[in-house]
Structure 1
């Protein structure tokens, strides 16, 4: 994978790590959705700071925030409230990436979904897909981070269509979910959602998910090929290892250290800096045996006690460096950590030195 330089509106380069954000391959279906309406896509890319030539680089990645901006601008350009659905409606097998090929070549539908879940970060660098059991049904859940309702709706609905299309290709059947549910409100006509998704559709639900029967996911894939599946899985595993060469908790700590003295350190903001949703960040930290609040508290404790042991650093300055809103909050935290006030802790440490 290579580092890429995105142009800012002023034309200045901004160096970004290639391992953050989705692969450029995920832009192609969106571009097809734009050109299919007779619209020009190059100015749209450039308005987001992306050089069109970058799409020819198979290993290049785009920061997630730029990808979200492109989705929003594409939906606005077309004026289509169901833009994500319509892009997904016209997906073809050749538009699939390594995740699609992994699913197609897996022995069963469920095995294919589980492989996609395992390696989804290879393409998206975000965990947007999960599988949950609920009685006799399975829930295929998908997330989309962002702040703009139109962008969130477009990405979420497109991801629902990705799954339905791949399930069609895997089984060579007219695959239909039992129900489609979305967290966001409907932006288009309800009849259009049901026409494309081919099942009952509900909005403003607790989760965005497709409800399918367990039996439907136990069907064999008509394209199953152990050798091809093994080849793609080995390729995906190598890429995933490259992406995970640094733990999430270490990345969070690095970001927190740069943010503490700039104002409030909040989970959503740090998650955006790491190009993932807040829920994904919480899940990854839990997998590593920690949490955002625990890490923030630990870092503040480490910095505060270190500076308290330096007698020439003012208490107000320590509170600021450690990211506390005021001296009172700082004092309460020190008492919670040590059972002493900041001055008592400093004096105790000084007496141990003499």
Structure 2
């Protein structure tokens, strides 16, 4: 079973800030804790979709959001799987590497087909998964063309682009892709001129590929070793601030029924309630260790609606109040102070 883990690229927030999107505004609109976005972190599919939808809402127009992000994201900030595509030998090699390494960054998959004078790239979601926000779908397809443009140094145009959902004002998208945009299609699809796939990449770097390729290939081949209990706790930790998490909601995230999840947890000698308590306890300690977060905010971040309930729970866990625990933690592990400040 694959984990519902999506790693946010380290440069993602920097790219958004470059176009005027502040991290705290994104976190507020996505209804997620700011700490989840500031650190390069893993999020669930639902949280990933919420982040993209929040971005679209802040920009105000899907097409504008797609073009702004694609054209302002610096190549140096590409994560390793994407960097490997940028340094490919030619456009065809880059696209096939992208399709392969996209498995390291769910929830979509790419299917590439070459026939006659065209190359079709279809964007498919994971089985039984909700479709992603239009801005995410559009950005994914636009990036595939942007990759070819940056790699070859040529102003490549697509032959056609199809989207299953509305993309706002399509005129800017048609200008960007250099072709007609069709809305209401049965799938999301980018069609390229096949001759462009033979174009060599100016950014080709064989030495770097020899380093990146084995590492990425090993990542693809590694079996997922986390237990079901570990996956449940992982999902809970990243969902606590969004409201009370039920076993039905977590089971849905894992692609199983709540009864199946209950049986799996019993097999691992634990329960959903125990894992929820552990998740809250562990997150509470992590947040309290950060002096920038006040205790009321910590209570909210781990899913408590009022501070008193959090205090009672924390005393059961640690035998001390959150404020006393924090004071002891700071005393044992003092924060470094810059003598120049």
Contact 2:23 2:34 in 1 (8 A): no
Q: CA deviation at 1:35?
A: 5.4
2:81 is the alignment partner of 1:99: yes
Equivalent residue number for residue 118 of structure 1: 100
Say yes or no: does 1:22 pair with 2:3. Answer: no
Using the alignment, how far apart are the partners of 1:159 and 1:33 within structure 2? 16
Answering whether residue 23 of structure 2 is matched by residue 48 of structure 1, we say no
Summarize deviations over 1:5-55 as a string: whole Å, max 9, x none.
Answer: xxxxxxxxxxxx9953321217x4466336523x43224325533443654
RMSD: 3.3
Aligned to 1:306: none
Contact 1:103 1:116 in 2 (8 A): yes
Give the number of aligned pairs: 233
What stretches of structure 2 of length at least 5 have no aligned partner? Answer: 232-248, 261-341
Q: What TM-score, normalized by structure 1, do the two folds share?
A: 0.57
Q: Which runs of 5+ in 1 are unaligned?
A: 1-16, 252-268, 276-291, 300-354
**Does the 8 Å CA contact 2:23/2:37 hold for their aligned counterparts?**
no
Q: 2:193 corresponds to which residue?
A: 213
Counterpart of 1:140 in structure 2 is 121
Structure 1 position 172, deviation (Å):
1.1
Q: Residues 61 and 169 of structure 2 are in contact (CA less than 8 Å); yes or no, is this contact kept in structure 1?
A: no
- TM-score normalized by the length of structure 2: 0.59
Alpha-carbon distance change, 155 to 30 in structure 1, aligned in 2, over 3 angstroms: farther
Q: Which residue pairs with 1:153 in the alignment? A: 134
CA contact (8 A) 2:62 2:168 kept: yes
- How much does 1:229 deviate? 0.9
CA pair 228-35 structure 1, distance change in 2 beyond 3 A: closer
Contact 2:19–2:72 under 8 Å retained in 1: no
Task: Render the CA deviation track for 1:79-118: whole Å, top value 9, x for unaligned.
Answer: 2232233322323212322122211222221112112211
Shift in CA distance, 98/121, structure 1 to aligned 2, threshold 3 Å: same
Describe the shift of the 1:192–1:144 C-alpha distance in structure 2 as closer, same or farther (beyond 3 A).
farther
Change (3 A) 1:33 1:125: same
